[in-house]
Amino acid sequence: MRLNKKPSSMALALPFVITTLMLSGCQTLGLDYFRPKQALPETFQEPVASSDQLHALPNDWWTLYQDPVLNDLIDRASKNNTDIKIAVARIEEADAYLSEVGAALFPQVNLDSSASRYRVTETGAIPVVNGMSPNRSNYNVKLGASYEIDFWGKLRRAKESARAQALASRFAKDTVDLSLKSLVAGDYLLLRSLDAQISLSQASIKTREESLALTKRRLEGGVSSALDVHQAEVAYSNLKAQLAELSRQRAVIVHQLALLTGSLDLTVSPNTIANLPTPPLPPVGLPSSLLEARPDVRQAEQNLIAANARIGVAKAALFPTISLTAGLGSESKDLGDVLKSASRIWSGGLSLSVPVFDSGRLNAKVDQATAEQKQLLAAYEGSVQQAFVDVNDALVNLRQQAEIESALDSSQQSAKKALEVANNRYQSGYTSYLEVLDAQRVANDTSLAFVQSRQARLKASVELFKALGGGWTQSAK
């Protein structure tokens, strides 16, 4: 039979010749990506520090707070947080999809084999020849290959889109990681603030206890009135309620940190916020180009790149699909003859699929891809603009919180002096206990407000690190 003849060299080379000719005329449909220009000021509007205060910020910005407990909490969160695990799994998924899409650029090779046993009749399409058994066998082994010629760039654009999606998944993970570390740092600073407020409240309660005991003794000596005692008792009870509320808030924050770090049995020993240093301030003229390093901005750009490539995929679908097929194998009615040269078979072919009429379906897909690209372009521009606003907000917040902290520091110092004067006046009999209570209340409130302002200032520095996507470097000036 003709099929069993050895294929000629020309026949074997034909698919490769066709492939070479096709590839020489290949073109990639769709537009290549160019980063959109952003109408942003060159520098941020809210300078904080003078140029001689420029410091490089390391990637592990949280270490600038010089707190080993905070470092440990962030390390735990990076390893155990469920959102991080989800983000890592999404990276693996995107990488697998990229491998799947990329595989389409290469020939697909399959090994097929079959064995069958059947019976023919004298009245069938292939009648039984006299003397031959009507029972037949057939054995087939074939190595087949197929290859779609990417004449219009459909497969290349698909891989470009998948690669951008894979990068976007990495930047999404970086965004989750940055947000997570900012949350842990912010909650930890609040925890330390609550520790300081609890310590101040406990000291105030001790002072109120002493004042209450003194007032009772003065009542027994006929120097004070029952009203002074009742007022002291009210002030003492209010402080105990304040302490209970602060303790409740502390417990809730520890629970939140336990969730963020994936350590549900987490305990954090009390400490004070006063020991935490203020991180370095950014320099005047910090360039807005730093925003390009923000992971959410980079994620938005990769999403835009992927959508831009999908337009090319949709346009390429409007044109013919050209594929090559080839096969080489053996076929025999006897299993023992399958590997013999006389049983060899081969095939080769070229297929062409041309869209003729689809009621506008393929054109609609192009319109759909174009509309998606417009959405993601606007989303990218919006992410850059939002990042610019975030940094300016963080800069002004950091600057104003520093001024608030300084003012409240002066206020608490004055309140302490006023309390000392009120105590001396009361003990000398020049005023009622109401003046002492008022001075104690003001001293307590201003001390708590100062601690809260310090926590707010440190939290503002965390928000600035987050807004900048991690920080700045010497070369950023």
Instruction: Decide if 159 contacts 102 (C-beta within 8 A).
Output: yes
- pLDDT tens, residue by residue, 275-297: 777 776 666 666 777 788 889 99
Instruction: Decide if 143 contacts 111 (C-beta within 8 A).
Output: yes
> Residue 10: its pLDDT value, please?
46
- pLDDT tens, residue by residue, 102-150: 999 999 998 888 888 777 776 666 676 666 777 777 777 788 899 999 8
**Using 50, 70 and 90 to split pLDDT, how confident is the model at 4?**
very low
> Residue 138: its pLDDT value, please?
77
DSSP secondary structure of 251-282: HHHHHHHHHHHT-TT-------GGGPPPPPPP
Residue ranges of domains in the chain: 1-29+107-149+321-354, 31-105+150-319+363-476
Find tokens 């654009």 and name the residue: 157
Over residues 226-232, the mean pLDDT reads 88
Helix residue spans in 221-335 (DSSP H):
226-261, 295-316
Q: State how far the Cα of 51 lies from the Cα of 283, in Å rounded to an integer.
A: 5
Instruction: Using the predicted structure, report yes or no on whether residue 459 has a pLDDT greater than 50.
Output: yes
**Using 50, 70 and 90 to split pLDDT, how confident is the model at 260?**
very high
Q: State how far the Cα of 234 lies from the Cα of 232, in Å rounded to an integer.
A: 5
Over residues 228-239, the mean pLDDT reads 90
CATH number of 31-105+150-319+363-476: 1.20.1600.10
Specify the long-range contacts of residues 416-425, CB closer than 8 Å, at least 24 apart: 416/443, 418/442, 418/443, 419/443
- pLDDT tens, residue by residue, 32-50: 888 888 767 766 666 544 4
Q: State how far the Cα of 27 lies from the Cα of 292, in Å rounded to an integer.
A: 32
Over residues 212-225, the mean pLDDT reads 84
Q: Write the single-letter amino acid at 124.
A: G
| The architecture CATH gives domain 1-29+107-149+321-354 | Single Sheet (2.20)
> Residue 441: its pLDDT value, please?
87
Q: State how far the Cα of 379 lies from the Cα of 137, in Å rounded to an integer.
A: 64
Q: Which of 181-190, 325-334, 387-396, 397-406 has the lowest mean pLDDT?
A: 325-334
Percent of the chain with pLDDT over 90: 50
Instruction: Decide if 115 contacts 139 (C-beta within 8 A).
Output: yes
Structural tokens at position 83: 């959102």
Q: Which of 171-180, 211-220, 357-366 has the lowest mean pLDDT?
A: 211-220
**Using 50, 70 and 90 to split pLDDT, how confident is the model at 340?**
confident
Q: State how far the Cα of 96 lies from the Cα of 102, in Å rounded to an integer.
A: 10
Instruction: Using the predicted structure, report yes or no on whether residue 78 has a pLDDT greater than 50.
Output: yes
Residues 107-142: b if buried by 16+ CB within 10 A, e if exposed: eeeeeeeeeeeeebeeeeeeebeeeeeeeeeebbbb
Burial class (CB in 10 A: 0-12, 13-18, 19+), 453: buried
Burial class (CB in 10 A: 0-12, 13-18, 19+), 382: exposed
- pLDDT tens, residue by residue, 175-209: 999 999 999 999 999 999 999 999 999 988 988 88
**Using 50, 70 and 90 to split pLDDT, how confident is the model at 475?**
very low
Q: State how far the Cα of 322 lies from the Cα of 310, in Å rounded to an integer.
A: 20
Instruction: Using the predicted structure, report yes or no on whether residue 370 has a pLDDT greater than 50.
Output: yes
Average pLDDT, the chain: 84
Q: How many residues does the chain have?
A: 477
Return all residues near 211 (Cβ < 8 A) that are at least 6 apart. 232, 433, 436, 440
- pLDDT tens, residue by residue, 89-100: 999 999 999 999
Q: In what order do the strands lie in the sheet with 321-332?
A: 108-119, 135-149, 321-332, 344-353
Q: State how far the Cα of 309 lies from the Cα of 164, in Å rounded to an integer.
A: 9
Return all residues near 85 (Cβ < 8 A) that are at least 6 apart. none
Q: State how far the Cα of 73 lies from the Cα of 65, in Å rounded to an integer.
A: 13
> Residue 114: its pLDDT value, please?
80
